[in-house]
Amino acid sequence: MSYLTTPSGYQPLLDMQQTELAIKQIKDFFQMNLSSDLRLRRVTAPLFVLKGTGINDDLNGVERAVSFPIKDLGDAKAEVVHSLAKWKRLTLADYAIEEGYGIYTDMNAIRADEELGNLHSLYVDQWDWERVICKEEYNIAFLKSVVNRIYGALKRTEYMITEAYPTIRPQLPSQIHFIHSEELLELYPHLSSKERENSITKKYGAVFIMGIGKKLSDGKKHDGRAPDYDDYSTKNEDGFFGLNGDILVWNDVLKQALEISSMGIRVNKEALQRQLKESGKEERLSLYFHSRLMDGSLPLSIGGGIGQSRLCMYYLRKAHIGEIQASIWPEDMRKQCSLHNIPLI
């Protein structure tokens, strides 16, 4: 099933040639700032990994990975990555990255089970990053400090693109607002999680919603998380559970919250065991990634992904992610977009 919103009176602020040029400017500028602010070096990443190693991210646990047999490996199956959450931590160890430094990469994925629409495509492109931390940084205060650095890079990039294209006006607030998903539930108890995101993001313009993956007081999760990368179950110094979250900004074109990044402090041994037990997936402890984490050969880390097409979509005030990237769309969606002046690539 696909979902499409067609904003009334929508007019692209840039034509297709200007858009292509602006996309490159945004990507070059932002990754340079991200790399500098978080002390990350660029590395080359895989498009696929071997099935059964536990390296691939299983997202919410229901999405099917695109897979194929490898002739020269006896038809062993490879999977196109969903994200590189676990691979990056392995790479930190294998490259012997020091504390306070990290890596980033261009991650390209195919998510065949996405519900296609303005914000979701079969093709996912993001900057995946991961940084080594020490035990003293395994806390909510450090998580917030990293979010603020990323937000600083977001602000500088917006300034750059609005200077280059004066028809685009800046929208990001001076600061990002922090709120825990439990606080958000208390604030809007009668709304769904997505409706709560829309309400809080419209109010503040940019928010970081913390503690995603663990059940809240109403017995529901704010959103799903795989149990073996972000730590969503450790009680932090604010009295809430979780050391992870999402960065959202208000998309004034679509009149809804736009998730730019999912990130967090990664599980230590205790959190991994606890979260696998809670989710009934303790058998994963025998897999390659999990075994290395349990034997102490992987560093503590913080990391996340930042959507490249979504970021460009936001900065360029586009109504559809298909105005930024080339992908496959249902024919009826292409027709509706054409009728409403939304030029899909």
Q: Is 199 a catalytic residue?
A: no
Q: Is 259 a catalytic residue?
A: yes
Output the pLDDT for position 61: 57
Q: Is 28 a catalytic residue?
A: no
Nearest 5°: phi and psi at 184?
A: -65, -40
Alpha carbons 106 and 127: distance in angstroms, whole number? 5
Catalytic residue among 256, 261, 262, 309: 262
**Secondary structure of 289-319 as H, E, C letters:** HHHHHHCCCCCCEEEEEEEHHHHHHHHCCCC
User: What are the residues whose beta carbons fall under 8 Å from the beta carbon of 21, sequence distance 6 or more?
Assistant: none
Q: In this structure, what is the dihedral angle of CA atoms 264, 267, 268, 274, given to the nearest 10 degrees?
A: 140
Alpha carbons 2 and 116: distance in angstroms, whole number? 5
Q: Is 57 a catalytic residue?
A: yes
Catalytic residue among 126, 181, 275, 325: 126
Output the pLDDT for position 1: 47
Helical segments of the chain, H only = 16-38, 85-94, 140-164, 181-187, 193-204, 269-278, 288-294, 308-315, 331-339
Q: Is 126 a catalytic residue?
A: yes
**Which fold would CATH assign to domain 16-339?**
BirA Bifunctional Protein; domain 2 (3.30.930)
Identify the CA nearest to 253 among candidates 331, 168, 173: 168
Catalytic residue among 31, 35, 57, 301: 57
Q: Is 113 a catalytic residue?
A: no
Catalytic residue among 137, 158, 246, 323: 246
Q: What is the pLDDT along the chain (345 residues), one digit of tens a residue?
A: 468 999 999 999 999 999 999 999 999 999 999 999 999 999 999 888 888 887 877 655 567 788 899 999 999 999 888 878 889 999 999 999 999 999 999 999 888 888 899 999 999 999 999 999 999 999 999 999 999 999 999 999 999 999 999 999 999 999 999 999 999 999 999 999 999 999 999 999 999 999 999 999 999 999 999 899 999 999 988 889 999 999 999 999 999 999 999 999 999 999 999 999 999 999 999 999 999 999 999 999 999 999 999 999 999 999 999 999 999 999 999 999 999 999 999
Catalytic residue among 259, 278, 279, 291: 259
- Domain positions in the chain: 16-339
Prediction pTM value: 0.93
Catalytic residue among 89, 111, 196, 225: 111
- Cβ atoms < 10 Å from Cβ of 211: 28
